[in-house]
Structure 1
Amino acid sequence: MKVFFDARWTRTDTHDGISRYGASLVEAFSRIHPVTMIINDERQLALLPDGIPYVRLNSAMSPKELFLPRKLRKLGADVVFSPMQVIGSLGRDYQLILTLHDLIYYRHRTPPGFLPLPVRIIWRLYHMTYTPQRLLLNRADAVATVSETSRDLIVEHRLTRRPVEVIYNAPPEGLGSTAAVEPTKDLVYMGSFMPYKNVETLIAGMRFLPGYTLHLVSRIKPEREAELRALVPDGAEVVFWRGISDGDYHQLLKSAAALVTASKDEGFGLPLIEAMAFGAPVVCSGLPVFHEVAGEAAAFFDTDSPRTYADAVLAVSEPARRAELAAAGRARAADFTWDSSARRLLALMQRLTA
């Protein structure tokens, strides 16, 4: 079985969620079955695992995408996996697995700000109805998604007639530390600043958390930073990192009072299990997917309530509760590995080609 991974969604500077998902999954998959990566820019190799064969083909956004199936037929593809639902498929003679991570933008239609205006307009129109998504997904032989919550939504909205398989997200391999670290009063938020992420609630809650510092570690546009700075309560400590290295991020997590998020929608919630791997308490909004991912290893609060958010932070800062969550979190994080996700994907491919 000759397998190709579409790695053309890999970033060339630093990973976003989909870029990291694809790179981590192909690395784990390569350890159990031969695989060839599809790239369109050799700079992508810097963020992809070493030693895996690759072919350089056209960009996924190029008109040449119409001829991708012909190229893959010549290369002898039996199965093609894409970490997105966008890939040329007309005239293919191989099995195709597409990925839909979540349905967030059907409920929160504001597109990412980095997209050009014409693309943002198309984005909004695309998410006005489920029809385009159905047309994309039904081109596949199977659909992958990253959580049972997302799978249930795909089924509920009848987005595809194809089988839907959960290929879980996972933290980086070897993450975590069992060494005891003196806890601080640092609260850490990792994620974008899109409206549905609801960072405003985290900032408002600092009014009830004197002595604590909220670290917003992700990259942020100056105008969005200005909007959020205007909301910081008098006397509250909020630090805008404007981007952080993995090393600094992990160092913060090791001693953090909590990893916090007030998100109103998610497909998985990778920062939660990254924090749990380090034994950092997790304080998060009560989304179904957060309950799925964290289980009993997190403290939950009402999404739009700064007060219940602050109360949850104070509760997990109690030494006994912190120790309880640290142990439960490490155990829960160990349930999610790229090795197990790769094996799920290989089993799906084998069923499709049997």
Structure 2
Amino acid sequence: MSRARRTPGPWRTARRRAAAADRQDAPRPAAAAGDPALGDPALGDPPRRVLFDAYWWDRGPFSNRSVQRALIHHWHERFPQDELVLAVRGGEGAVPSDLPPGARTIGTRLYPHALSNAVELGRLARTVHADVVVAHNYTPVGRVPAVTFVHDVMFRDHPEWFSRTERAYFAPMIPLLRAADAVATSSRTEADRIEGRSGRPVTPVGLGVPRTLTDAVPRPPAGIDPGLPFALCVGRLNVRKNLEAVLRAVPLSARLGPEAPLLVVGGAEHSGVAPDLPPGTDALLASGAVRLLGAIDDAELAWLYSRAAVTAFLSRDEGFGLPVLEATHFGSPLVLADTPVFRELADGLARFVPLDAPSGDVAAALDVAWGTTPDAVLRERLLARYEWDRVVERLRGLVP
């Protein structure tokens, strides 16, 4: 509440500050011959100096960190001629971990992310003489080329899923898109929503399974018997993820129970409005038919995906739905909510249940999918369509 009341002043001054910085008009220095930081033009594409929004590089919502890190690492590998500069949180003393080779950093000071991007990124781009800024959600204002990747704007369609503070924090996202040279998102479904809300053309570029997950050495979470059969749910504990629909199905399933539990991965941090768990949840937890694992690491998540008898993801809405792609990579059968974005991702590959399906129907879908093998052709087609090299190629193609 207090943060929402304090932010309007800086928002109103953002354009004035950016315009003042513009007047400095600092020229970009010429590259020295053979400068490895500027790449080898013989590689084909002209080299670019790219300032990346890396606000969530080391802390913040897990999904944000995962996407930012994967995007930047794969950009470096796919376009080694580009010079990468990461705008990281914490000022000049910030020492981020796991940087791509040759990348350098510049610190941001403002909080929250929205204010930092709008006010600071344009100035930092001029400081490092960047050719373009690649931002997440919030576009820098001022005279700087910018490509903005928007994760989703469902807060406009479903404000009831978000707290008042969250809604105030997200509010500048759509107006700031007017300053972007190009707008991208993960799915065609989400692109349609952003276009409808902003009036801007939006390019879907996809997402990919993080390499930290695919390369992890699988390890069972603490307290989980390696021989235990189980169903899996992955996602933050909030009302949008619709965990309660799966919980209501557990007592009606012929498969699920204390000897074959539902394992739930995810925490409540950065999660919005909490879910209303159905009556009987305490009894399910006490019996062991449902186990809440909280936040786990990539090795544990890889183990769970690769051994789950079925993965259920009944989220009411998503911009993309990365767990669908992750579960598919590891070969887990899927039961999904019948929503447009999930149809876009996994039509023909998953079993779908309506959002308002009776609990018995959800239980039946879980039982039918239990232990099955996804169609190999459709699985490979999905994974080939959504891989990080293709994502960064599409995104770099938007650079002005």
The 1:309/1:325 distance shift into structure 2, 3 A limit, reads farther
Matching of residue 218 in structure 1 with residue 261 in structure 2: no
The 1:324/1:144 distance shift into structure 2, 3 A limit, reads closer
Task: State the AA in 1 paired with 2:155.
Answer: Y
In 2, are the aligned partners of 1:258 and 1:281 still within 8 Å (CA)? yes
- Rg larger in structure: 2
Distance 2:373 2:63 in 1: 30
Mapping for residues 8-23 of structure 1, pairs under 5 Å: 8-12=55-59, 16-23=62-69
**Over aligned residue pairs, what C-alpha RMSD do you find?**
3.1
Shift of 1:204: 0.3
Distance 1:96 1:227 in 2: 42
Distance 1:183 1:335 in 2: 33
Identity %: 25
Report the 3-state secondary structure (helix = DSSP H, G, I; strand = E; otherwise coil) of the residue aligned with 1:268. coil
Task: State the AA in 2 paired with 1:24.
Answer: A
Distance 2:184 2:373 in 1: 36
Distance 1:327 1:236 in 2: 36
In 2, are the aligned partners of 1:78 and 1:95 still within 8 Å (CA)? yes
Structure 2: runs of 5+ lacking an equivalent:
1-47, 217-225
Distance 1:154 1:102 in 2: 7
Which position in structure 1 is the counterpart of 2:128? 75
Distance 1:46 1:184 in 2: 36
In 2, are the aligned partners of 1:9 and 1:18 still within 8 Å (CA)? yes
The 1:307/1:348 distance shift into structure 2, 3 A limit, reads same
Distance 1:121 1:8 in 2: 23
Report the 3-state secondary structure (helix = DSSP H, G, I; strand = E; otherwise coil) of the residue aligned with 2:336. strand
Report the 3-state secondary structure (helix = DSSP H, G, I; strand = E; otherwise coil) of the residue aligned with 1:29. helix
Task: State the AA in 2 paired with 1:9.
Answer: W
Which position in structure 1 is the counterpart of 2:22? none
Mapping for residues 154-303 of structure 1, pairs under 5 Å: 154-157=194-197, 159-161=198-200, 163-173=201-211, 175=214, 185-212=229-256, 213-220=261-268, 227=277, 230-231=280-281, 237-303=289-355
The 1:278/1:327 distance shift into structure 2, 3 A limit, reads farther
Deviations 1:203-247 (A, max 9, x none): 0000122442111111247x9699568535666700011221211
Distance 1:43 1:228 in 2: 44
Report the 3-state secondary structure (helix = DSSP H, G, I; strand = E; otherwise coil) of the residue aligned with 1:35. strand
Report the 3-state secondary structure (helix = DSSP H, G, I; strand = E; otherwise coil) of the residue aligned with 1:138. helix
Matching of residue 104 in structure 1 with residue 154 in structure 2: yes
Task: State the AA in 2 paired with 1:72.
Answer: A
The 1:229/1:48 distance shift into structure 2, 3 A limit, reads farther
Distance 1:183 1:169 in 2: 32
Task: State the AA in 2 paired with 1:121.
Answer: R
Report the 3-state secondary structure (helix = DSSP H, G, I; strand = E; otherwise coil) of the residue aligned with 2:96. helix
Equivalent pairs, count: 327
Matching of residue 329 in structure 1 with residue 379 in structure 2: yes
Mapping for residues 314-353 of structure 1, pairs under 5 Å: 314-317=367-370, 322-325=372-375, 328-349=378-399, 352=400
Match among 109, 115, 124 for residue 167 of structure 2: 124
Deviations 1:275-300 (A, max 9, x none): 11111101110111011112321111
Shift of 1:122: 4.5
Structure 1: runs of 5+ lacking an equivalent:
113-119
Match among 30, 40, 43 for residue 89 of structure 2: 40
Task: State the AA in 2 paired with 1:166.
Answer: P
User: TM-score if structure 2 supplies the norm length?
Assistant: 0.73
Deviations 1:52-99 (A, max 9, x none): 2222232353877635423321321110010222x5413x2x311122
Which position in structure 2 is the counterpart of 1:116? none
